[in-house]
Structure formats: structure tokens, C-alpha cells
Amino acid sequence: MSTATAAAIRRPADAVLRISEEAALEAAVVEDDMEAVTAEPGDGPMLINMGPQHPSTHGVLRIAMELQGETVLRSKPIIGYLHTGMEKTAEDLTFLQGPTNVTRMDYASPLFTELVFCLAVEDLLGTEIPPRATWIRMLMCELNRMSSHLLFLATNGMDLGAVGMMLYGWKEREEILRFFESVTGLRMNHNYIRPGGVAADLPDGWQDDVEHILTVLPDRLEQFDTLMTGQPIWRDRTQGVGVITADEAIAMSATGPLLRSTGEAWDLRRTMPYLAYDEVDFDVVVGAYGDTFDRYSIRLNEIRESMRIVAQCLDKMPKGPYRTEDRKVTPPPRARIDESMEALIHHFKIFTEGFRVPPGETYAAVESPRGELGCYLVSDGGPKPQRVHIRAPSFVNLQSLPHLMYGGLLADAIAIISSVDPIMGEVDR
């Protein structure tokens, strides 16, 4: 189908394919019927399922699509394949154990989920965290944003046929994960940010490791620019594909690069600063056309902005304790346990019973690489939360997908899914 026809049928009032599972099955049975297959293809739209296992769907995402020739009409993302009830699990874990659970939601940027959970807990506790902890959190989160965007560049490149990009992106990401391993002990699912601060101080020589990343990466980003940004095939595949306007994005509750690609300069780090983002200098990257290319270039340039923030964290990292001295939430130092019975009991109680959090409810939000990551936390005064709700940006952004894909080509659908950058662990939780 020519692009003119595709544009002509673009965007009716509702791009979402609202069809029950039974009706979809019936449509599928007709497709399986040998007579239907051997007969001349009809003119009507065809219903197909993309996924849930297709590698381009970034995890187990299934999209029911209505196709007219090669043009995508209505569609609907069908999710839940990775649902493991993590919000239910969170109600059975103490506040101290909470980050272990939530860090597994967005496995590409685990530190952000830990951060938002801890910010919510600290708000209910009324705990002030020391400046060093704040800056360590900021340093680690910005490095995590870089690694997450590098992963996006890798997978987005592969989805569009730049297979070499897959290797380059993973390679650079590995450098950052190696640093994470030296700080937190794990490459992913760190459980590093804890209520009251962070789990451990930065190791000796961390400055050298970070400086190494900061010196190596700019050249690589230049290479990515050569490989993709300026390349005609890349531009053809991404420019003008999956366009969304600012009003549409806001109506669909889209946040993050999806919203910023429309020219809306909404970045929580700038507009509602948390941690010490009001003390560092960085630019909010915005797009102009709201297309796939804008979303790609926003992420590429956000890596550069994150590098600026990391460099400032290097310069300004304050000295002092890395977690609060409040004995209510922080276990006694290891050395005290050897000499004091009370310290041993205290340590034991914190790790078995947990600490109590005053009753109340709160909402904390941070800017994750995918958008606004929120945590709505309700405490009934006990050591375990009454309710933990994670506002997952991937989950909400996925709603825009039918809208972005409507009237586009099937091949472009792959580019669009990739440009929304959903992490299915976070979508399904």
C-alpha cells in the first residue's frame, strides 16, 4: 500500500483494537482454515498477533494488529506475560527488604526503582539523608541512565538492521556494569540504594574508574553518530515514523523521552528537582517532531548530559557518612557488634523485624530513563508496607503504541515499539 493511502487512513478517533479474546480466536481460526489460506486473499483487514516471543518486541509483549495489506490499522498491546505479583510480594517484605524486590522490576535501570522506593520510605520516616549519600545516589543513577540508554541504542539499532550497533552498545554498557559490580557487588539488581542512604561507600579508586568511562565514551558516541545518526538509511527508517504531538502525548499520560520528543521540556530532574539535581548543570534534551528519530536522538544526547552530571558528581562529591546516623533505620557499624551485646541485638532486630514506619501515605517520583517513575506507598505503622504501587513509565507509555502505529507500515511498527523502549519486567511487575 502506498504511503499516500497510509496517510489518508491515519488516525481515526480510536486506534486501539478493542476486541475480546474469543473474537480474536475466531478470527484466527479462519486464518488456520486451509480453504481460507488457499483461497484468494480477501480485501478486508487481517488480524494477526505479533509476539509474544518475537525478538523485536523487547521481551514478552504481544500485539494484536489489524493489517490492511502492509499497513497497520488498529492494534492493542497485550501484556501480563511477566506478571509475578511484585506489588503483592512487596507487602510481605519489610521496608529494608523492599529494594531487593522493586529493583527487579525495571532490569535495565534497577537503581531508579530502588531510589524511588527509598525516597517514599524516607518521606514517611522523615529521615534526612547525608549529602554524600545523595551525591552517590545521583552518580549511580546517572551512570545507570547511561547504561540504560546504551542498551536502548543497541537494541534499537538491531531492530532497524544495524546489527553491529547491538555489539557496540552492549560493549559500552558492560564498562558501566563493571563499575556497578565494583561498587554494589552485582551487575544488575543491585539492592544498593537503601532507606537511609546507600548500602556501602564507594570503593577506593572509584574516581579512576568513572574518569575512564568519561574519557572513553565520547569517542564511542561519535562513532554511533557516524554509524546511525547521519546515515541516510537510518534517517529513512526513523524520520516521520510514529509521530505524536504534545497534546496527544499528555492526554495519553506519556512521560520521558516520548513526551520530550514532542518539544515538551518536561524532565522531573529540572522541573521538580529531587536529590541534588538543582545543584548540577545539565540541559534537558527535547525533540521537535515527536517521531522515532527524535526519540532516538534524545536518548543519545541524554547520555552526553548524564556524562556532564557524572563529571560534576566527581568534582563535588562531599565527604562524610554514606548513610544516615539515625539508629532507627541504620544498623550499628560492624565493629560495634563485636564489643556490644546491645548492638548485636539491635542489628538482629533491624534485619529480622525491620523498622517501623509511621502511618501515612506518600507519592514519590523520579525521572527514570523511560519517564516518570513513581512510588505510591501506604504504611499502617508496621514494619511492612500496607501497599506499594509502582507507577511504571513503560506500562503507561505502552498505551500510546496503537496511536503511534496507526496507519504506518508493519516494518515501521518494529521501529516504533523499539523507540518507546518498554522494559517488560516493569510493564508487568
Residue closer to other proteins, measured from CB, 65 or 343 = 65
* Stretch of 132-140, 244-252, 313-321, 411-419 contacting other proteins, by CB under 8 A: 244-252
Contacting residue, 92, 225, 279, 342, with other proteins by CB under 8 A: 92
Contacting residue, 96, 102, 241, 398, with other proteins by CB under 8 A: 398
Contacting residue, 8, 18, 35, 40, with other proteins by CB under 8 A: 18
Contacting residue, 56, 68, 182, 399, with other proteins by CB under 8 A: 399
Question: Which cell numbers hold the place of 167?
Answer: 555489539
Residue 20 interacts with other proteins (CB under 8 A): yes or no: yes
Contacting residue, 395, 416, 421, 423, with other proteins by CB under 8 A: 395
**Nearest CA to 368 among 297, 421, 415, 315?**
421
Looking at this protein, which amino acid is placed at residue 137? R
Under 8 Å between Cβ of 381 and 361 = no
Under 8 Å between Cβ of 148 and 411 = no
Residue 266 interacts with other proteins (CB under 8 A): yes or no: yes
Residue closer to other proteins, measured from CB, 291 or 372 = 372
Residue 428 interacts with other proteins (CB under 8 A): yes or no: yes
Distance set, CA 315 to CA 172, 309, 319, 322, 426 (Å)? 23, 10, 12, 17, 33
Residue 85 interacts with other proteins (CB under 8 A): yes or no: yes
Under 8 Å between Cβ of 249 and 258 = yes
Residue 206 interacts with other proteins (CB under 8 A): yes or no: no
**Nearest CA to 86 among 390, 396, 399?**
390
* Stretch of 11-19, 49-57, 219-227, 343-351 contacting other proteins, by CB under 8 A: 11-19
Residue 318 interacts with other proteins (CB under 8 A): yes or no: no
Residue closer to other proteins, measured from CB, 51 or 157 = 51
Residue 83 interacts with other proteins (CB under 8 A): yes or no: yes
Question: What residues pair up with 377 in beta bridges, in sequence order?
Answer: 362, 388
Using a 10 angstrom Cβ sphere, with 0-12 exposed, 13-18 middle and 19 or more buried, the burial of residue 392 is: buried
**Nearest CA to 162 among 228, 252, 68, 69?**
228
HSE, side-chain direction, 13 A CA sphere, residue 88: 4
Query: In the chain, what is the straight-line distance between the N-terminal and C-terminal CA atoms, in Å?
Result: 38
Distance set, CA 261 to CA 290, 294, 391, 415 (Å)? 4, 5, 21, 15
Residue 272 interacts with other proteins (CB under 8 A): yes or no: yes
Residue closer to other proteins, measured from CB, 21 or 219 = 21
Site for other proteins, residues 334 to 393, rule: CB under 8 A: 359-363, 365, 372, 374, 376, 378, 380, 386-387, 389, 391
Contacting residue, 48, 107, 123, 337, with other proteins by CB under 8 A: 123
* Least spacing, CB of residue 352 vs other proteins, in Å: 19
Residue 264 interacts with other proteins (CB under 8 A): yes or no: yes
Under 8 Å between Cβ of 375 and 119 = yes
Residue closer to other proteins, measured from CB, 97 or 386 = 386
Residue closer to other proteins, measured from CB, 336 or 389 = 389
* Stretch of 85-93, 103-111, 147-155, 320-328 contacting other proteins, by CB under 8 A: 85-93
Under 8 Å between Cβ of 354 and 384 = yes
- The DSSP line for 187-213 is SS----EETTEESSPPPTTHHHHHHHH
Residue 284 interacts with other proteins (CB under 8 A): yes or no: no
- Binding-site ranges for other proteins (CB under 8 A): 14, 16, 18, 20-21, 79-80, 83, 85, 87-89, 92, 123, 126, 250-255, 264, 266, 271-272, 359-363, 365, 372, 374, 376, 378, 380, 386-387, 389, 391, 395-396, 398-399, 428-429
